[in-house]
Amino acid sequence: MKPSHRLSALTILALLAACAPTTPPPPPPPPAAPAPLAASDADFVQQAAQLNLTEIALGKLAPTKAAKSTVKNYAQRLIAAHSGAQDKLATIASTHGVTLPTAPDADNQQTITSLGGMKRARFDQAYLAATIQAHENAVTFAATEAATTSDAGLKAYAQELEQMAQQHLTAARALTRHPGHPAGYAGARQSRHH
């Protein structure tokens, strides 16, 4: 072999050796453990989940139990709003390693069962009373959480929940005063824009 070819072959072999993988890169570090929630934040997450699950379950009774179309429409809006709120809460909870309940607790289930045995005007009255009480409580516990938590995600969620609960509360109260008024819920939604 000519010296120039030998040099070229050696150069190529040296370049190939330089490109050959050395030791494999170390595996990526495991993901950081989720940040635990403060006890008050964990309580709030559970309260909010129970509110959402219960309002969804109660709302699902309305199509076959309620007398007034306004109550049925209100219930459908609550199902949509609380389903969305539960989805947001699940995202926040997962970032903290918290498992949300998948069904209402025993106390809330008792309310659901009780209302499930009612029909027509009796259901409408009991359903609106239950949602008023639940949303009064929600306004309070959401406002407390928004004021006290140091978790930015929970603070934003609590503020949204407080606003939503206040709107639902206003609408339910309007429906109890004017049960046949079709704008009972729409009026409450429009009032936030003024």
Mean pLDDT across 149-176? 97
Domain ranges of the chain: 36-97+104-185
pLDDT at 7 over 80: no
Q: Check residue 25 and give its pLDDT.
A: 73
93-150 pLDDT, tens digit each? 999 999 999 999 999 999 999 999 999 999 999 999 999 999 999 999 999 999 999 9
In angstroms, how far is CA 173 from the centroid of its own chain?
24
Give residue 172's pLDDT band: very low, low, confident or very high (50, 70, 90).
very high
C-beta atoms surrounding 111 within 10 Å: 18
Lookup result for tokens 């339910």: 172
3-state secondary structure of 98: coil
10-69 pLDDT, tens digit each? 666 666 566 656 666 777 776 666 678 899 999 999 999 999 999 999 999 999 999 999
Mean pLDDT across 172-194? 58
Q: What class does CATH assign to 36-97+104-185? A: mainly alpha
29 touches 93 (CB < 8 A): no
- Cα–Cα separations (whole angstroms), residue 187 to 136, 138, 168: 19, 21, 11
* pTM check: above 0.85: no
Q: Check residue 6 and give its pLDDT.
A: 54
